[in-house]
Structure 1
Amino acid sequence: MADYIHELRTLVGHRPLILNTAAGALLDDQNRLLLQERADTGDWSFPGGYMEFGASFAETCQREYLEDAGLEVEPVRLIKLFDKDFYTYPNGDQTQLITALYLVRQTGGQLLDHVTDETVQVKYFPLDDLPPLFNDQSVKMAQAVIDDVRAHV
């Protein structure tokens, strides 16, 4: 995946790209949300990432969750599709992020317990006490999870 995005960026530089991503919302038995502290910005976000060529949103969510959080997950249902959010990365890369946010359940794996290229740590947070989130889309995603939890209580 990184090679695909890197290859595109060598062709277009920092110009705007529309990129597909998928993320998962995993809640524990106390309705606390698992978030990833990002290595690139120090902010928190949902485990997730860019879609690889030929993958589905659900497959992307599963792959990225394992990479970012150490957990095998299964998408339960689509919470929401976010399709009009823009972000400029610190290096100047401009994106419109099309993100599928799934409610997921854990099927295996263990919480990541070491620093990686993308993750400093993963941690559960109460929905009413979330840390500083990565970008506006992450804030909207958190609100969608809160709304989803309220609707399914």
Structure 2
Amino acid sequence: MKMMTYGYIKMIRELVGHTPIILNCTGGILLNDKREVLLNLRTDTHNWSLPGGYLEYGETFAQGLVREYKEDSGLDVRIVRPLKLFDKGETKYPNGDVAQTIAMLYLVAPVGGSLLTQATDETLGLKFWPFDDLPPLLNQQNADMLAYAAANV
């Protein structure tokens, strides 16, 4: 495998501006003992999403998930099992960027690290939410992923 190229999406955006693009991403379902799911409050859109994110060039879905989960939550996770691929989704960002997202969803378990206690450049906060009382979400794809997990995990 070739080395990963960090900053890939930024490089692409510099070339195409706000032109809609297709991006691969990944997200993880982490449940607490009350069967609540961990979500992160995003700095860019000020709504909630599953920890995860876009793949860098050369990364697999699994590698991207472990890296992004750590960035978004502070936790080191292991993949318990893949859940489903979601290929219908679009995200519109406040800066005008639009992306069609192809997202691989995984069930994960913590293996180290600790939940972030301070805001970062990507995460304002973290909270466990019951599936039947979710906050405003990033997009319909996150809602679809959470609905799938509620029924299948």
Match of 2:84 in 1: 80
CA RMSD of aligned residues (A): 1.1
Match of 1:119 in 2: 123
Report the Cα distance in structure 1 between the residues aligned to 2:151 and 2:30, rounded to whole angstroms. Answer: 14
Give the partner amino acid of 2:82: L
Give the partner amino acid of 1:121: G
The Cα of 1:88 is off from its aligned counterpart by: 2.0
Residues 100-144 of structure 1 deviation map (CA, whole Å, 9 limit, x = unaligned): 010001111101100001100111111111111111111111101
Cα 1:2–1:37, aligned 2, differ >3 Å: closer, same or farther?
farther
SS of structure 1 residue aligned to 2:39: strand
**Of the candidates 52, 74, 99, which is equivalent to residue 95 of structure 1?**
99
Report the Cα distance in structure 2 between the residues aligned to 1:105 and 1:87, rounded to whole angstroms. Answer: 27
- Tell me whether 88-97 or 66-75 shows the greater mean CA deviation: 88-97
Match of 1:104 in 2: 108
How high is the sequence identity, in percent, across the aligned residues?
A: 51
Structure 1 residues 4-153: aligned runs within 5 Å? 4-149=8-153
Q: TM-score, normalised by structure 2?
A: 0.93
Runs of 4+ in 1 over 4 A off after TM superposition: none
SS of structure 1 residue aligned to 2:91: strand
Q: TM-score, normalised by structure 1?
A: 0.93
Give the partner amino acid of 1:114: Q
Structure 1: gaps spanning 5 or more residues: none
Aligned length: 149
The Cα of 1:87 is off from its aligned counterpart by: 2.0
The Cα of 1:90 is off from its aligned counterpart by: 1.5
Residues 71-97 of structure 1 deviation map (CA, whole Å, 9 limit, x = unaligned): 000111111111121222121112110
8 Å contact kept, 2:86–2:102: yes
Report the Cα distance in structure 2 between the residues aligned to 1:49 and 1:67, rounded to whole angstroms. Answer: 9
Report the Cα distance in structure 1 between the residues aligned to 2:42 and 2:13, rounded to whole angstroms. Answer: 21
